[in-house]
Amino acid sequence: MQSPFRYILTALAALTLGSSCKKDLGNYDYKTVGMPVIDTSGIGNPYYIERYSNLQIDPAIRYDGGDTKALKYQWLLYPYVVGSVSTPIEVKTISTQKTLDIPVIEKVGEYRVEMIATDTTNQLKVNMVFTVVVSVGIEYGVLVLHSQADSADVDFITTANAVPVAGITPKWLKNIYSSSTGSRMSGTPRFIGQERRSNTIQNWLMIGSSEHIARMNGTDFSLIREDRSMFRRADAVMDPQTFMLMGSGYSALINNKKLHVYTTTYEVDALFSAPVPGDYELAPYLAYGTSSSFVAAVYDQKYGKFIRPASITGSMIDFQAPAAGTTPAFDLRNIGKDMLYMDRGFTSYTHAFFKDRTGSGHWLYIANFNTFTDDGRLAISAKDMSTLPEIASAKFFQSSELGYMDLYATDRTIYAYDYQGTNTASVAFNGFPAGETITCMKIYKPRPNFNLSAVDGTILYVGTWNGTQGKVYELSLNGISGAIGATPLNVFEGLGRITDISAKARGAGTY
């Protein structure tokens, strides 16, 4: 039997021979295909940009023989690495538009940004790589904590009025908390504050809501630690109410009506221990003017008195009784009122604002906690505020450190209070548009005030809410008379409901 494969092979050979002899009569039109050209004239130099600022690159595209409308774009961002690395380099797509205009949220460092242009008709590609250096962007300014619904975010604002420092330009960085962490802080916002000591590496920011607490890096606002990692005990209750780096050098947190403290410049050791022991329930206020011998002076709302820790590891104790033979302005151990606010005022005294628990009486109690000896002479004066205009409607209080003047505010009006002379108050500012109500009021007090001493205490920031958006008003303030400029220096619109405003200072030395 003959194999069929011999016939198949013969047929294939004939086909091959026939095709090799056939003349190619095709009519072809060959042409040169153009390539898109990314023109970097004037924009090819390295880009130096502050973190959270917008990176803008708009290259011209030339496409001889092609259609630029057929091009699609992709922008990639990746870290610049020298040498080999053991882990994969993360490459992010940051835009698909021709013009790049996005906030840069990457940490401080050097990066490469690559533009890729692709012709969708033939898949031809060209690319161009740009050098981008991300630097520190939040050295000087103010931090604004604001909310929408049941979550919070932070804006950072620098103006020439607040920061008259060479090389610092005005800026407004929006929603930098969510940009840094990937989400807003849940819960009702409560406080934001700086924790900075000059000539040390301590440069942190603390943010608290009804559900969370977070420590952010003071140079680039990256998240350092949060929630229970802030505490030495895993069973810590999460109810942060206020925080402050005290004049005593101690960092103090009121959490769930209890006081927690630590003192260190090293972040890994900056953890809150168990609350200071004792039977007390604190008002959610702290005042900067406290000496190291007192750790922190706080107000026990439960028993209506000022108290302090015996030491950083001791229990909560009372202040000394009034000195024998003296007639004190008040007894620190027996106030019996509800605290409305507490702040540091003129001559580094602590100003505490109170309301009677029965009746309509309002008071300013002034004490000297900025001393090293509790000698029973810390009560300085008591001022009856009960007859001041609209004092029963006052919701916000601030104390000037430049003169004998305090401020209080209702929903719409700010009053300057002369507590040392006439014990009267007068309208300082009421120029807010109809429908806006005050939600926050803070005198600009950068701590430390290195490079900023000339403007320390001379600006008032006010947050308002009209039911739709929040605004920040920057107002000039005379810290001696209480006079406020009739025309705002700046107005920032489009924020959420503003809860807190804090100065952000660089301080002296490196960090």
Between CA 440 and CA 146 the distance in angstroms is 10
* Beta carbons of 122 and 103 less than 8 angstroms apart: no
pLDDT of 41 over the 90 cut: no
Distance of CA 328 to the CA centre of its chain: 41
Residue intervals of the chain classified under CATH 2.60.40.10 are: 37-135
The pLDDT value recorded for residue 260 is: 97
The pLDDT value recorded for residue 42 is: 80
Phi-psi region at 312: left, alpha or beta (left = phi > 0; alpha = psi -120 to 50): alpha
Q: What is the CATH number of domain 141-504?
A: 2.130.10.10
* Beta carbons of 300 and 318 less than 8 angstroms apart: no
The pLDDT value recorded for residue 65 is: 82
Q: State which of 28-37, 44-53, 443-452 shows the largest mean pLDDT.
A: 443-452
C-alpha closest to that of 447 among 296, 288, 313, 300: 288
C-alpha closest to that of 94 among 121, 79, 115, 110: 115
Q: How large is the greatest C-alpha to C-alpha distance in the chain, in angstroms?
A: 137
> Rounded mean pLDDT of 385-411?
98
Question: Superfamily assignment of 37-135 in CATH?
Answer: Immunoglobulins (2.60.40.10)
The pLDDT value recorded for residue 3 is: 42
The contacts of residue 436 (CB under 8 Å, 6+ apart) are 412, 464, 465, 466, 471
Q: State which of 23-32, 39-48, 103-112, 435-444 shows the largest mean pLDDT.
A: 435-444
pLDDT in tens, 431-483: 999 999 999 999 999 999 999 999 999 999 999 999 999 999 999 999 999 99
Which of 11-25, 96-110, 215-229, 321-335 comes out lowest in average pLDDT? Answer: 11-25
Going by DSSP bridges, is the β-strand pair 125-135/47-50 parallel, antiparallel, or unpaired?
parallel
Between CA 179 and CA 202 the distance in angstroms is 23
The contacts of residue 140 (CB under 8 Å, 6+ apart) are 158, 162, 163, 165, 168, 446, 451, 452, 504, 505, 506
State the Cα torsion 469-470-475-479 to the nearest 10°.
150
- Rounded to the nearest 5°, which phi and psi values hold at 327? -115, 90
Confidence band for 25, pLDDT divided at 50, 70 and 90: low
The pLDDT value recorded for residue 485 is: 98
The pLDDT value recorded for residue 8 is: 38
pLDDT of 164 over the 60 cut: yes
The pLDDT value recorded for residue 247 is: 86
pLDDT of 430 over the 50 cut: yes
DSSP letters spanning 119-158: ETTT--EEEEEEEEEEE---SSEEEEEEEETTEEEEEEEE
Strand partners, 114: 76, 129
The contacts of residue 235 (CB under 8 Å, 6+ apart) are none
Looking at per-residue pLDDT, the higher value among 232 and 22 belongs to 232
- Under DSSP, the state recorded for 184 is P
- Express as a percent the part of the chain with pLDDT over 70: 93
> Rounded mean pLDDT of 407-426?
98
pLDDT of 177 over the 80 cut: yes
Confidence band for 31, pLDDT divided at 50, 70 and 90: low
- Under DSSP, the state recorded for 38 is E
Confidence band for 29, pLDDT divided at 50, 70 and 90: low
The pLDDT value recorded for residue 30 is: 53
The pLDDT value recorded for residue 135 is: 83
Between CA 46 and CA 35 the distance in angstroms is 25
The pLDDT value recorded for residue 101 is: 96
Fill in the amino acid letter for 129.
Answer: V
- Under DSSP, the state recorded for 229 is G
Residue intervals of the chain classified under CATH 2.130.10.10 are: 141-504
pLDDT of 407 over the 90 cut: yes
The pLDDT value recorded for residue 40 is: 81
Between CA 46 and CA 206 the distance in angstroms is 34
Q: How many CA atoms lie within 13 A of 102 on its CB side?
A: 18
Between CA 471 and CA 261 the distance in angstroms is 34
Between CA 388 and CA 396 the distance in angstroms is 14
Q: Nearest 5 degrees, angle CA 397-CA 185-CA 79?
A: 120
Write 165-172 long-range contacts (CB < 8 A, 24+): 165/140, 165/451, 165/452, 168/139, 168/140, 171/50, 171/53, 171/137, 171/141, 172/492
- Under DSSP, the state recorded for 395 is -
Confidence band for 24, pLDDT divided at 50, 70 and 90: low
> Rounded mean pLDDT of 362-390?
96
